[in-house]
Amino acid sequence: MDLIIDGGTVVTMGSKGIIRDGTVVVENSHIVDVGKSHDLKRKYHGHEKINAKGKVVIPGLINTHQHAAMSILRGYADDYPLKEWLEKWIWPMEKHMTGRDIYVGALLNAVESIMGGVTTVNTMYHYAKDGSEAEAFAEAGLRGVVGHVCFSWRKDEDRKALRELAKDWHGKANGLIRASVDPHATYTVDPEYMKELREITNELNEKYGSPDSPIMWHMHVAETEDETEKIRQAFNISIQGGVVEYLDSLDVLGSDIVATHCVALTQRDIKILKKRGVKVSHNPISNLKLASGISPVPSLIKAGVTVALGTDSSCSNNNSDMFGVMKTAALLHKGVHKDPTLLPAEQALQMATIEGAKALLWDRQIGSIEIGKIADLAIVDFKKPHLCPLFNEISHLVYSARASDVDTVLINGKIVMENREVTTVDVHKVLGMTEKTKESLLARLGEENKQ
């Protein structure tokens, strides 16, 4: 589809900065021109036009940590510590989830993400051939890195799932879907299995990956202060340094890793993250809700570590609103450090766009509005009381805008939402499927509890 998005303010997050009364020209899924409206509108003919007057065009937001299928558990278990939340509530329920349930939860998340201007999601969950997050994302037209989460207690199942996921989905759906290898955490994946998963990643990359489309790693790292103690209890390993230092001793760290949370880091851990090129996904809302702590993001950024943003699952956030995450991240570190200059609005927006693309090794194709990049775009309607008057577009995007202000979304150059109407799937049907799936899950859990 050939499109001209005309008359709005274009926040490129690239070398052209902010272009007021700007135009973005899209042909065959890619951005072919960006500039002032009066310079470009006579240059192109026969393109479908989107009138962006009074609106702001931004790169699609990139959510670098999700468990998309867990949208099916939104509001199921709140206000518990992480260990209790997982072991007494989430894992017992997840035992009953089928591939179909995973697909429905991920489809709900895909719709919510698109409606909030999110065009790429990095998700970690269980892969099943009879229904998966990848299938749901492809149906909705959402770009995603889809991983299978690995645990020491099911190695054979994991090996099979990882190979099937890579074979079935990596590079598929017109390049929208990539696969990843996802060790759950340092305390649920033993050292030898962690090393083996690195070997499996290398093997899968040789077979299915490429320099422009790698199969990467995605894992929880240093989420809570007691993680080293959890490792000791699980595997009888004594750790003298931090969690990252422990992972480095296994020789598994690299620039293809998204390390999520990174709350409990030592100074040496931060140096290792920088040295190995590991990317960090900061999840401030989830970390606050589960009282896990606060990641030392200013120190990570100062050290030169790539830091992006994530929502975590809709079971621990409890939504997929990246505008809320941007605002929370910007405010949190100002307040904690009593320094209003920390994490300014532009930096928060970078973390949700181009830095997110870097974290997912996708920045050559997405993350900014530049000629030659793929047209993953969100158009935000600024004709709202809470976005008026307008002095600074980036300030409003981070501190005032809401997910519901997103008007139109393009992914791969295709309109997947226009005037708040999702074009790829029937939203009302998805909501109905979700409620039925929830009731079925509760019934299965209830039957088990009777036994």
Domain final position from 328, 359, 390: 359
pLDDT at 7 > cutoff 70: yes
In a domain, 431, yes or no: no
pLDDT digit string (tens) for 352-387? 999 999 999 999 999 999 999 999 999 999 999 999
Q: Is the peptide bond before 174 cis (omega within 30 degrees of 0)?
A: no
**163/132 same-domain check:** yes
Query: Please, which pLDDT band fits residue 444 given cuts at 50, 70 and 90?
Result: confident
Give the CA diameter of the chain. 72
55 plus 66 within the same structural domain: no
Residue ranges with strand state E in 245-358: 257-261, 279-282, 307-309
Token output for 167: 């074979």
Whether residue 231 sits in one domain with residue 185: yes
- Is the domain of 304 the same as that of 390? no
Q: Which domain holds residue 256?
A: 61-359
CA distance 106 to 386: 31
* Co-location of 217 and 279 in the same domain: yes
- Enter the pTM of the model: 0.97
Q: Please indicate, yes or no, whether residues 400 and 261 belong to a single structural domain of this protein.
A: no
Same domain membership, residue 222 and residue 87 = yes
Mark which of 330, 359, 388 sits at the end of a domain: 359
The answer to whether position 437 is within a domain reads no
| Together in a domain, 236 and 308 | yes
Let me know if residue 21 belongs to a domain.
Answer: yes
Higher pLDDT pick, 28 / 447: 28
**Total domains in the fold of the chain:** 2
- What per-residue string of b and e applies to 160-171 under the rule 16 or more CB within 10 Å gives b? ebbbbbbebbbb
Instruction: Please give the structure tokens belonging to residue 379.
Output: 């158009």
Chain segment 421-430, per-residue pLDDT in tens? 999 999 999 9
- Kindly state whether residue 425 falls inside one of the protein's structural domains: no
Asked if pLDDT for residue 344 goes beyond 70, the answer is yes
Same domain, 18 and 141: no
Measured in degrees and rounded to the nearest 5, phi and psi for residue 72 equal -65, -15
Residues whose CB falls within 8 Å of the CB of residue 377, separated by 6 or more in sequence, listed in order:
5, 24, 26, 57, 58, 59, 60, 119, 369, 409, 410
Domain CATH for 230: 3.20.20.140
Which residues, 6 or more positions from 95, have their beta carbon under 8 angstroms from its beta carbon?
A: 448
In-domain check, residue 332: yes
Q: Report whether pLDDT(451) > 60.
A: no
Same domain, 162 and 191: yes
Residues 232, 106 share a domain: yes
The residue count of the chain comes to: 451
pLDDT at residue 1, rounded to an integer: 76
- Between CA 102 and CA 340, with CA 64 as vertex, the angle to 5 degrees is 135
Average pLDDT, the chain: 96
Q: For tokens 């409606």, what's the residue?
A: 115
Q: Is the pLDDT of residue 346 over 80?
A: yes
| CB contact at 8 A, 106 and 248 | no
